[in-house]
Amino acid sequence: MDYTIIMLIVMVAIMYFLMIRPENKRKKKAQEMRDSLKKGDVITSIGGIIGKIVSVNKDTIVIETSDDRVRMELTKWAVSSVGVQSTEQPEETKEEKKPAKKEEKKDEEKKEGESWNPEL
């Protein structure tokens, strides 16, 4: 009986340290980031909108999204991160991969040419 109670307490403690505590840390860090927003910061919203902060109010911010001075008002909780998020690869790596594929094709063509002999 005592063993099961101890195991139950251990399981709750493990769940707290592996699931609940890290989530609370993430929420606290995100809230600190949103509270520290200031004019001039470049942000990315949760919808992927990128803009420069023009003004900061208590619960909202106004961002400028382009050179045409298009302005949008967003709530602070809609800010995903400060800075620009990008999932694309840099252009250099894309260009480096293309010649490698061409070289592979040339190598395959050479191998095919060597293996075929019309005299046989």
Instruction: Please write the tens of the pLDDT for every residue from 35-77.
Output: 999 999 999 999 999 999 999 999 999 999 988 889 999 999 9
Tens-place pLDDT, residues 104-113: 655 665 555 5
Q: pTM, whole model, 2 decimals? A: 0.56
Mean pLDDT of 75-104: 68
Question: Nearest-CA neighbor of 54 among 68, 72, 31, 34?
Answer: 72
Pick the CATH number of 38-95 from 1.10.10, 3.30.70, 2.30.30, 2.60.120: 2.30.30
